[in-house]
Amino acid sequence: MDIWFTENHTEGYKVSWRIDKILHSERSPYQEIAVVESPDLGRALLLDNTVQTTTRFEFIYHEMIAHVPLMLHPRPQRVMVIGGGDGGTVREVLKHPAVETVELVEIDERVIEVSKEWLPQISFALDSEKVNIKIVDGLQYVKQHASRYDVIIVDCTDPVGPSLELFTKNFYRDVFNALKADGIMVSQTGSPTFSSHFTEAVKGIQEVFPHSSPYLTCEPTYIAGFWSFTIGSKKYKFDNINSDRMATIETRYYTPDIHRAAFVLPKYIEQMIK
């Protein structure tokens, strides 16, 4: 008998894909966690019945959330990742030789442990000596460290439940304060087509940072295959790419041309964020 996973996005739009096997399922203190095997997407991590990452396409999301801000900073030595317990974003951050330490701030330790067990090709970088894992609430942790980080990456789940606070202007102000004078932040900001929080998140970052913009990618795992991130910078603009550094970093999706193209927004999205 076929088993199908269905992710509900709106009352009138849902996406289904067949799974071969449920590899792991549990309830942590914070959420439902599952790992499933799909013939088309490979292994997938699900949190509260929402797909977070798949072994087939995860490189697209993780490269775009990590390399875009890191390639803009001349020397990103100290990086914080909020969320991202699967380890994919940390893996990409550590490809930059200048990075000396990465603080992974994850509220749910079980996400990390399950990812290490079932998604080793994504999570292996979590064992690096450069990685300092903090099992705490990122909302509170970021308030405790002023002017400390070169780059902060908000690799959070969709804006429901506790994660909703990670999409507010108050949180973006706390991130701003935790960054050094030339710091950069980026947050995943969901589907620009279906997410009701996209515009609010983008405008919140715009109101806090002197330089900000959404940028886009295509990721077949997620809703409609169309995804956004929003970057905020205290100093650097978004076309200042260090191409020489790029020559030393191995990627499958991200390139300097992809970087520049990602900031070219369709007219309807430009109108959404005016």
Q: What's the domain range around 101?
A: 57-273
For 124-181, the pLDDT digits (tens) are 999 999 999 999 999 899 999 999 999 999 998 765 555 667 778 889 999 999 999 9
Total domain count, the chain:
2
Verify that 48 and 72 share a domain, yes or no. no
Q: Which has the higher per-residue pLDDT, 244 or 107? A: 107
At 163 the pLDDT is 64
Annotated binding site for spermidine: which residue ranges? 62, 86, 155-158
pLDDT at 193 over 90: no
Give me the active site residues, please.
155
Verify that 46 and 68 share a domain, yes or no. no
CATH number at 75 reads 3.40.50.150
Query: Model's pTM, two decimal places?
Result: 0.95
Verify that 90 and 221 share a domain, yes or no. yes
For 43-65, the pLDDT digits (tens) are 999 999 999 999 999 999 999 99
At 225 the pLDDT is 86
pLDDT at 1 over 80: no
Q: Which of 54, 74, 94 is a domain's end point?
A: 54
At 161 the pLDDT is 57
Annotated binding site for S-methyl-5'-thioadenosine: which residue ranges? 31, 106, 137-138, 162
Annotated binding site: which residue ranges? 31, 62, 86, 106, 137-138, 155-158, 162
For 64-104, the pLDDT digits (tens) are 999 999 999 999 999 999 999 999 999 999 999 999 999 99
Verify that 238 and 265 share a domain, yes or no. yes
For 217-248, the pLDDT digits (tens) are 999 988 888 899 999 999 999 988 877 888 88
Verify that 17 and 96 share a domain, yes or no. no
Q: What DSSP assignment string belongs to the chain?
A: --EEEEEEEETTEEEEEEESEEEEEEE-SS-EEEEEEETTTEEEEEETTEEEEETTTHHHHHHHHHHHHHHHSS---EEEEEE-TTSHHHHHHTTSTT--EEEEE-S-HHHHHHHHHH-HHHHGGGGSTTEEEE-S-HHHHGGG-TT-EEEEEEE---SSGGGGGGGSHHHHHHHHHHEEEEEEEEEEEE-TTT-TTHHHHHHHHHHH-SEEEEEEEE-TTSGGGEEEEEEEESS--TT---HHHHTT---SS--HHHHHHHT---HHHHHHT-
Verify that 29 and 147 share a domain, yes or no. no
At 194 the pLDDT is 79
Confidence of residue 261 (pLDDT cuts 50, 70, 90): very high
